[in-house]
Amino acid sequence: MLVVCVSTALTRPAWAATPASPVGGVPVHIAAQPLEQALEQLGQQTGRNVMFTPDPRLRAITVKPLNATLPPEEAVARLLAGTGFTAENLPGGGITIHGGKPQPLKNLRKKAALRSNAGEDIVTTGHHTRSVMSMDGQEIQALMPGQNPMQALDFLPGVTFTNVDPWGNNEQNSSIYVHGFNQNQLGYTLDGVPLGAGAYGNYNGLSPQRAAISEDIASTSLSSGAGALGTASTSNLGGTIAFTTSDPKKKAGATIRQTFGEYSTFRTFARVDTGTFGNNNAAYFAFARQDARPWNLGPGNSQGGYQVNAKFTHKGEKTDVTAYFDWQNKAEPNTQGLTAPTSLYARGAFYPNLSAAMANYPVMTSTKASPATPNNQYYFSAARRTDYLSYINVSHRFNDHVSWDNNLYFHYDDGAGIVATSVRTVAILTELGPYLDPGATNYIKNGQFTYSLHGVDPVVWNKTGGTGFVVRTTEYRDYRGGLTSTLHYKVGHHNIEVGGWYERNNNVQARRWYPLTATNTLTPYDMPRDPLFTQWANAFYTNTFVTHLQDTWKVTPRLTLMGGFKSEMVYTNGTLPVAALPQSLASAVSGAKTIVDTSTNTVAGGTIPSFKAFLPAFGALWRFTDHEQLFANIQENMDSFAETGYGSTSPWAVTSQADFEAFKKHGKPETSWTYEIGLRTSRALKFGPLTGIGGQLEYYHVNFYNRLGTISPPNQGISGVGSTVANLGSVSTNGMDLAFTLHFGNHFSVYNALSYVDSVYGNDFMDGATLYHTRGMKVPAIPAWSDKFVLSYHYGNFRTQFSGTYMGERPATITNSVYTPSRVMLGFSAGYHFDMIPHVRGLDLQLNISNLNNVRTWSSITSGDASTYTGYPTAPRMFFGTVGVEF
């Protein structure tokens, strides 16, 4: 398995450190220790490849403690001051340490500053035994101000991110694949705090854009093969994504950034930094508001909301303390998918014009279905989320050999998915009928509510408000808190790490229905009250225990070995305080004449553990030259059962207690073995106009076992009711990533990331009475080939970027019967920094154009099982302008 990671230069030009940026460098915590160990630790903390020739003086020199938020060049300069060593910042993002005459700190700083004008990379590669790629927060804002940091990862090799929104914020229609795994099979953390499994139907976390304001993200790091053993996640089958927030600045000041754009875009970001005060304390307070009209909806619709961040740091001689708080409240209108293939591209919603919605749909007495079935429009659809996230981190250094990190966190979420849809569909009538008019035999055919010769059942019509529409919600409430604790012990050439993570998570989900009347039409931006009925409600109580032990052994100055394991124990008690009426879950009924269904029992629930006592990891890093590294890693991971119910792939989603008990006895959690091997390089060149190169090549292989899927059990009878979760077999993935940055002088660079992935099913499976021949078929929604590029140019205070992404054909069904077409999307950004303005530290102007070539193609897709799938459109070309001022 060969992987290539691209680097975002820590050697960034002067304009990259614009005063409008809230990022004040990288948090660096180096204890008093030999210089050799300090440089290794610095490489790990900054994501930079720090390389040096074996030299006994590196082990003989002891550096003083360094605890500050600094640019990497400054941190290197401080460590090397007076040691006789110098640092060479390579164009590819690496740092090479050379011997020489002792130099004062000011000279090293000056040289670092001069070298920082050598050019910039888009991505940095880490000093690890596995593939780790990072993107700087400033680069994220350059690509699109205020964007979801997940969207910026689309420029990394092996990653495919799609969204219907130019900022990547729409969670329902968001999709990310990394080396064959989807967003629910990855792990996510913010400053080490677990963010859950990335599920839209929230049950154990929140999305990164809700956990921190985009402009407060200092860096985003992707472990594309397997995450570190100490990562607080139980869903990371396919790697981890770590977000780091910026620390407060040392100097007091304020930053304001205002973005304007098409479709009434108005985004405000403001931040106030206290600067250092008291006994080495610092803090900031940040605020963001975003408001825009969704591009595919009319006036009266808006997307966005409010968000607040606050962070406090104390840097002590022995103890560091960090406290963080995040609050956000947003409403995000959802985009309906289209059943594809189709000549249609995008459909909006009628809101706020109820008259037009009612005029477009048949009246109660009509026997016609909704128009353009199945691509009919909602009245509205939206996701509402309110989150409170906080943590306090305490890191204590007992001595040069022992340190202890502790992170205590709490998260509360209150949200809902809201849909106002027509009652004139068989699926909706089947759900409403058993509750609102269970005796309406004239409107039942083959066991389902449907249209009769007289239209829709008048009782159902009137109880839902008489407009022909009804509002359905899926409501979420989540309380979770926990502690991560890690002890670091350095002895000889060994760096031993032992840690644990505990979390208690209580979450409740409910499906409720509300009337929509001509006088109380409701909105997508407010929670309805007084439901007609609660169709079902789930309650889950989960205790998570994870421990890990790891030893990193520096066998020689050039060879490092890593070995360790983690244990995962996740105990979930899922109950069903309100069970759905069996018939209301029917999807296909033949032969039944009444609504009575006595053959199906809804699940009562119970406790099922996800347990794996030994999940090993082994890795090696060989620096065989001053500029190249060879790395290899083997690791096993487990995905605990999803703590959610109906409509999901979870043991609690089955519709019979017998199936639940059978799964409890025989079911296994999903697991994976990941193998990766790769080569990194970072060196200066003198080859005509080419002056430097940095990059990574990687090959990887993944064996994915016990893939879970929702199917209809065989021989379920005439009820048409019921689904079960089954083990559908294995998936095998092979792939290669190649990413590199070429530097042409001090002002121009070219970044490119090319990826190939072949992810195939290992088994056929039965769904009801249908046999699906999926063995050897490619996993849908994943392109075999993808390529990303960024052309960067800077001169003085001016910078510009031209970027693009290519996505090859994607299989759209599990049998590969239909493929989506390939696509190419382009983007552009340009900016200028003014730094000689009285009473202002700096002024920045920036222009961004998304989807520059205005391509019309599917963004995210939901795969089908036959000849159709669900496609979501891509936002059209949009222009945005940003003004940033720092005082």
697-713 residues labelled b (16+ CB within 10 A) or e (exposed): bbbbbbebbbbbebbbb
Q: Are 172 and 417 in contact (CB under 8 A)?
A: yes
Residue 602 is predicted with a pLDDT of 60
Task: Kindly report the CATH number assigned to the domain that includes residue 267.
Answer: 2.40.170.20
Residue 449 parent element (H or E):
strand 448-449
| CA distance linking residue 766 with residue 708, whole number of Å | 13
**Pairing relationship of beta strands 240-245 and 187-190 according to DSSP bridges:** parallel
Instruction: Give burial (CB, 10 Å; 0-12/13-18/19+) of 828.
Output: middle
In a domain, 695, yes or no: yes
The strand pairing partners of 386, in sequence order, are 329, 414
In a domain, 621, yes or no: yes
The CA-atom distances, in angstroms, between 86 and each of 99, 109, 513, 753 are: 6, 11, 68, 32
Q: What is the pLDDT of residues 563-606, one digit of tens each?
A: 999 999 999 999 988 888 877 776 655 555 555 554 445 667 89
Q: What is the pLDDT of residues 750-773, one digit of tens each?
A: 999 999 999 999 999 988 788 999
Q: Which one-letter DSSP state was computed for residue 641?
A: P
Q: Number of folded domains in the chain?
A: 1
Lowest pLDDT segment from 115-119, 394-398, 602-606, 624-628: 115-119
In a domain, 642, yes or no: yes
In a domain, 384, yes or no: yes
The strand pairing partners of 845, in sequence order, are 832, 883
Residue 234 is predicted with a pLDDT of 96
**Pair of tokens at residue 63:** 């550096």
Mean pLDDT throughout 125-145?
Answer: 88
| CA distance linking residue 854 with residue 161, whole number of Å | 18
Residue 152 parent element (H or E):
helix 149-152
| β strands within 731-876, DSSP E | 731-744, 748-761, 765-767, 770-772, 785-795, 798-807, 810-811, 819-820, 823-834, 842-850, 858-862, 869-873
Average pLDDT taken over every residue of the chain: 87
Residue 594 is predicted with a pLDDT of 53
- Is the whole model's pTM more than 0.85, yes or no? yes
Max intra-chain CA distance, the chain: 96
The percent of residues above 90 in pLDDT, for the chain, comes to 65
Q: Are 189 and 195 in contact (CB under 8 A)?
A: yes
| CA distance linking residue 836 with residue 842, whole number of Å | 7
Tokens 């022909």 belong to 468
**Pair of tokens at residue 81:** 């001051």
Q: Are 313 and 275 in contact (CB under 8 A)?
A: no
Residue 591 is predicted with a pLDDT of 53
In a domain, 617, yes or no: yes
**Pair of tokens at residue 887:** 């005082």
Domain containing 338: what range?
Answer: 253-886
The strand pairing partners of 760, in sequence order, are 732, 778
In a domain, 682, yes or no: yes
CA angle in degrees (0–180, nearest 5) for 849-850-852: 80
In this predicted structure, the answer to whether residue 18 has a pLDDT above a threshold of 60 is no
In a domain, 196, yes or no: no
In a domain, 344, yes or no: yes
